[in-house]
């Protein structure tokens, strides 16, 4: 690790939020995220409290995470990095890390230990930390349905039901990408969750997945933006919709949408932070990250959205929703009642096979 990064890490450990006199001048951080209920939860759990503790700091939200990798590349190539902190998926973070356009992270030097002294590298959930990636939440893509679309005594309960148009008729809203759709197609066709990527890595497995998708193709409406999936359900345009569990929670529990989540086969993913190389305010960003990714702060985000915190020590601190007053534990993807048949997204697989599968899926959509 470079001397610059070592100094950043030591500074973070020694003086969290104790910024130098020069840093007390007004400064604005541009933090890039996904928008919607997710950015709102970050604003309430992290950004607003940090600004209250540091009145000289203003945080501006940019909802550009869907195109974050392209944005980081463009800024790096232009020599004009304007983003300070970016919320990004691990697969894209690894590509950006390999390209040297985001900073490497010394997790134990730059991040807070657990309250009992457990170092960050042991407190963050196994497999979640990346060379340049700081996980923040555990979320999942889930299947959601409208109970009113089906008889009371014949409600869907599994991913297999998504592919059963005879017993569960109606339109299905699926995201316009291969990820999740191909995994679910194989799962519904009888492949064990632990074997899905091994099967999908073969030509025969890919053919099998697309053949299963063919069985519902005439019933699919594709969505692109996360907000579209719950809206299609709320408007009664579809009987089923895939979607991010946090957005579905918000639509059901906050907005009152009549829908239910099916946790069977949830596709589990990490999401977290990366720091652009040559960003304009790296020292301040590292101060922010040390504070915003500690045990209490990660648990705080669960007060506003149903994503599980990425630290083990945060689990016991999760309480009630700040506005609704409901226990948030049952709404967490990692709750044992929900985590009975998860499909853990394999980012290495999608890094190796993603381009090929995205091209085939795009052609399939047009056929």
* pLDDT score of 220 more than 60: yes
Tell me the two tokens of residue 140.
Answer: 């999942």
Residues above pLDDT 70, as percent of the chain: 94
pLDDT in tens, 64-97: 999 999 999 999 999 999 999 999 999 899 899 9
What pLDDT does residue 339 have?
87
pLDDT classification of 54: cutoffs 50, 70, 90: very high
Residues in a beta bridge with 244: 141
Average pLDDT over residues 37-42: 91
What pLDDT does residue 330 have?
87
CB within 8 Å of 161: residues ≥ 6 apart: 167, 168, 262
Beta-strand relationship, 220-223 and 172-175: parallel
CB within 8 Å of 179: residues ≥ 6 apart: 267, 345, 350, 354
* pLDDT score of 18 more than 50: no
CB within 8 Å of 18: residues ≥ 6 apart: none
Residues above pLDDT 90, as percent of the chain: 80
What pLDDT does residue 7 have?
41
What pLDDT does residue 41 have?
93
Look at the alpha carbons of 351, 159, 198, 340 in this order and tell me if their dihedral is positive or negative: positive
Average pLDDT over residues 205-234: 96
pLDDT in tens, 269-328: 999 999 999 999 999 999 999 999 999 999 999 999 899 999 989 988 888 999 999 999
What pLDDT does residue 52 have?
98
Give me the chain's average pLDDT, please.
Answer: 92
* pLDDT score of 12 more than 60: no
**pTM for this model (two decimals):** 0.74
Map out the domains of the chain with their CATH numbers: 3-138+270-317 (3.40.190.10), 139-269+333-366 (3.40.190.10)
Q: Token pair 């589990």 is at which residue? A: 268
Distances in Å between the alpha carbon of 214 and those of 31, 165, 220? 40, 12, 10
Q: Establish how many alpha carbons lie within 13 A of residue 253's alpha carbon, considering only the half-sphere containing its beta carbon.
A: 23
Distances in Å between the alpha carbon of 246 and those of 40, 207, 216? 11, 32, 26
* pLDDT score of 3 more than 50: no
Q: Give, in degrees to the nearest 5, the angle at Cα 329 between 324 and 335.
A: 150
Q: Token pair 């007004």 is at which residue? A: 26
- Residue among 196, 220, 176 at smallest CA distance from 268: 196
73-77, 127-131, 145-149, 190-194: least confident range: 127-131
Average pLDDT over residues 44-71: 97
Average pLDDT over residues 57-64: 97
What pLDDT does residue 318 have?
87
Q: Is 311 helix (H, G, I), strand (E, B) or coil?
A: strand
What pLDDT does residue 37 have?
81
What pLDDT does residue 6 have?
41
What pLDDT does residue 126 have?
83
């Amino acid at each position: 690790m470079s001397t610059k990064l070592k100094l950043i890490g030591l500074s973070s450990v020694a003086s969290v939020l104790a910024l130098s006199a020069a840093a007390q001048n007004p400064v604005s951080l541009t933090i890039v995220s996904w928008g919607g209920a997710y950015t709102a939860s970050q604003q309430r759990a992290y950004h607003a409290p940090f600004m209250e503790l540091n009145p000289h700091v203003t945080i501006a939200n940019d909802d550009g995470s869907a195109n974050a990798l392209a944005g980081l590349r463009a800024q790096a190539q232009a020599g004009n990095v304007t983003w300070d902190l970016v919320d990004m998926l691990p697969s894209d973070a690894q590509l950006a890390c390999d390209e040297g356009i985001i900073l490497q992270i010394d997790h134990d030097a730059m991040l807070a230990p657990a309250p009992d002294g457990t170092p960050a590298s042991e407190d963050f959930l196994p497999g979640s930390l990346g060379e340049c990636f700081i996980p923040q939440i555990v979320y999942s893509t889930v299947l959601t349905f409208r109970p009113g679309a089906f008889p009371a005594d014949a409600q869907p309960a599994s991913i297999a039901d998504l592919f059963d148009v005879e017993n569960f008729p109606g339109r299905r809203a699926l995201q316009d990408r291969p990820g999740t759709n191909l995994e679910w197609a194989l799962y519904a066709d009888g492949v064990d969750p632990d074997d899905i990527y091994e099967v999908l890595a073969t030509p025969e497995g890919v053919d099998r997945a697309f053949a299963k998708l063919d069985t519902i193709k005439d019933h699919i409406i594709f969505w692109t933006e996360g907000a579209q999936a719950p809206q299609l359900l709320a408007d009664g345009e579809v009987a089923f919709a895939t979607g991010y569990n946090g957005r579905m929670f918000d639509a059901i529990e906050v907005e009152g949408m009549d829908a239910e989540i099916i946790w069977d086969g949830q596709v589990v993913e990490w999401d977290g932070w990366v720091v652009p190389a040559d960003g304009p305010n790296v020292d301040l960003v590292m101060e922010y990250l040390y504070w915003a990714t500690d045990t209490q702060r990660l648990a705080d985000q669960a007060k506003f959205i149903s994503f599980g915190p990425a630290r083990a020590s945060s689990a016991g601190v999760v309480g009630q929703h700040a506005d609704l007053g409901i226990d948030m534990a049952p709404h967490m993807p990692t709750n044992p009642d929900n985590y009975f048949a998860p499909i853990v997204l394999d980012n290495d697989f999608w890094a190796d096979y993603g381009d090929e599968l995205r091209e085939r899926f795009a052609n399939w959509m047009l056929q």
